[in-house]
Structure 1
Amino acid sequence: MQTIKTSPVARVKNITKEDFVKHYYKPQIPVLIENLTHDWPAFEKWNLDYIQQRAGEQVVDLYNNEPTKGKQYSAEPVMKMKLHDYMEILKTKPTDLRIFFYNILDKMPDLANDFEYPDIGLKFFKRLPVMFFGSTGSKVLPHFDMDLADLMHFHFHGKKSVMLFSPEQTKYLYKIPYAVHNLECIDLDNPDFNMYPALKNLNGLQVEMKHGDALYMPSGYWHYIKYLDGGFSMTLRAFSRRPRTFAKMLSNVFVMRHFENVMRKLKGQQWIDYKNELAIAKTHKLLKREA
């Protein structure tokens, strides 16, 4: 069986601010911290039942893994559902329906009393703690965050698998132009090295997260996520202080995203097909230059 080359993410139980900044933040290296949440109320309280009881009547947008087509925006919900009913699905059966970028302060602000912003050397943007929900077996398309923030990702209720790739690996991932994801037909669990030979050059990092674990994902890191159980995660973000990264973030958020959506409305599936073909052509041209 063909597989992507990976090595384990560094793992620590506890870490000081000084060591985190020196060994992980400054060199931009991922690390999983096991005990960072153990003194939070969330560590004891947060599970699917707790969320369901507090906001079950909310109606939420749900997303799946079907590629967007035609004149759809690049990230459109496929349906809406009461949060209570969605939680029941997560607790009882697999589904590819996921909740994406659920803003805690807007949707369930009392949850902010259950966690803290860790004093670890990151200057967190406190207006945007967000949650993500998924079912057993559901997957999140490999991508990096458009705002290029440094991310601290906390998982609750069950386990999930995360595969990471540094920004230097982007050239082998068949990145789609004017987007932050790769070809949606690529399966990193069962890579087709004949059709997509650049995948053989990837060197990723792999980690399995359990309840309460915190994963540091540096700015621009790709992440491919699989839920091993129904559960949810919270991400806290710290915007980069590096001038070039900050400028690129502004370009992504205020130029690239809007250009992409305009082109989808104007050209529809023709634009999507063009970009897919261009991603393959550019990647294979690079491979020939490196050979």
Structure 2
Amino acid sequence: MKREGLNLKEVDRVKNITKENFLKNYFQPQKPVIIENYINNWPAYQKWSLDYIKQVAGDKIVPLYDNRPVRHEEGFNQAHAEMKMRDYIDLLKSQPTKYRIFLWNILKEVPELQNDFEFPDFGIRLLKKLPMLFFGGKDSYTFMHYDIDLANIFHFHFEGKKQCILFDQQQNNYLYKVPHSLITREDIDFSNPDFNKWPALQKAKGYVANLNHGDILYMPEGYWHYMRYLTPGFSMSLRAIPRKPRNLAKAFYNLAIMRHFDVLMRKWKGQAWIDYKNKQAVKRTHQKAG
């Protein structure tokens, strides 16, 4: 079987950065970047670890997600399990697990954690009510997807190592995008793709980012991202609304129309709707990729 690497470039890595430099070299051209040293003076840089989160949020019941395929009977972002945070962190540290936490709002769940970080000034206004935490165990991963609001995302990584594969929206024709959704085919292993089964992926051009404790990954508007935890760890994301009118319009469509249409079709057609979309992802990609 033909298994080769994707066409990926290393994301630029810079030591700290000025607002002017960020806006000129990364935000305006919509190019990803990893920023080092920027948060070294935050209390979170020293304090935040899995053990610390266990200490301050151990009694919280947290929703857990794994990499099972989407089923028609599941709601939008419906959790697959739940447990106390302390038990989840014990699980992360004791053995590999597919269970992840995503979109965990720290302002709502543990407000005192906000005292450990600042909202950085990169020249674009961040949404201050939506700092979210993401946790994962060794070799757990997210499906390739982009965010429903096509936000500019700053992803701050804490503890361990994490790898992110990124594509911009111009690569859509090659990624086996599932229609009426925000994901690609869930059976694609982006860490080791089978090009016999998914030949169009060979034409996609993207980026790879390897994150360590304290690194910030900037993901521009609407970027596809696949994230794999190489070791147990967690990250925090801050976001800013898209600036490009086309992306703003697409975000509004996703939130106001696409999401609700998909839910309606799942209820009406059941699993046949999911199966239809997956088949269309292959058919449309092969037509567009040539």
Give the one of 205, 208, 211 matched to 2:207.
Answer: 205
Equivalent position of 1:90 in the other structure: 92
Partner deviation per Cα, 1:125-146 (whole Å, 9 max, x = no partner): 1010000000011111111111
* Matches of 1:120 and 1:195, distance apart in 2: 41
Structure 1 residue 239 corresponds to structure 2 residue 241: yes
CA contact (8 A) 1:146 1:180 kept: yes
Residue 73 of structure 1 and its aligned partner are, at CA, apart by: 2.5
CA contact (8 A) 1:73 1:264 kept: no
Q: CA RMSD in A?
A: 1.0
1:51-200 paired onto structure 2 within 5 Å: 51-200=53-202
Residue 79 of structure 1 and its aligned partner are, at CA, apart by: 0.9
- Percent identity between matched residues is 50
Q: TM-score, with normalisation over the residues of structure 2?
A: 0.97
Q: Which moved more, 1:214-223 or 1:251-260?
A: 251-260
* Counterpart residue type for residue 243 of structure 1: P
Structure 1 residue 255 corresponds to structure 2 residue 257: yes
* Matches of 1:167 and 1:287, distance apart in 2: 14
1:266-281 paired onto structure 2 within 5 Å: 266-281=268-283
* Matches of 1:24 and 1:166, distance apart in 2: 13
Partner deviation per Cα, 1:232-288 (whole Å, 9 max, x = no partner): 000000001222221211111121111111111111110000001111111111122
* Counterpart residue type for residue 145 of structure 2: H
* Gapped regions of structure 1 (runs ≥ 5): none
* Matches of 1:275 and 1:73, distance apart in 2: 17
Equivalent position of 1:226 in the other structure: 228
Give the one of 29, 32, 41 matched to 1:30.
Answer: 32
* Matches of 2:250 and 2:204, distance apart in 1: 24
Residue 74 of structure 1 and its aligned partner are, at CA, apart by: 4.5
* Matches of 1:229 and 1:187, distance apart in 2: 18
* Counterpart residue type for residue 242 of structure 2: S
* Counterpart residue type for residue 155 of structure 1: H
* Matches of 2:146 and 2:289, distance apart in 1: 22
Partner deviation per Cα, 1:8-53 (whole Å, 9 max, x = no partner): 1001011110010000000000000011111100000000011001
Partner deviation per Cα, 1:107-133 (whole Å, 9 max, x = no partner): 111111111111111210101000000
- The number of aligned residues is 288
Q: TM-score, with normalisation over the residues of structure 1?
A: 0.97
CA contact (8 A) 1:154 1:215 kept: yes
* Matches of 1:48 and 1:55, distance apart in 2: 10
* Counterpart residue type for residue 123 of structure 1: R
Moved over 4 A (4+): none
* Counterpart residue type for residue 266 of structure 2: R
User: Match of 2:147, SS?
Assistant: coil
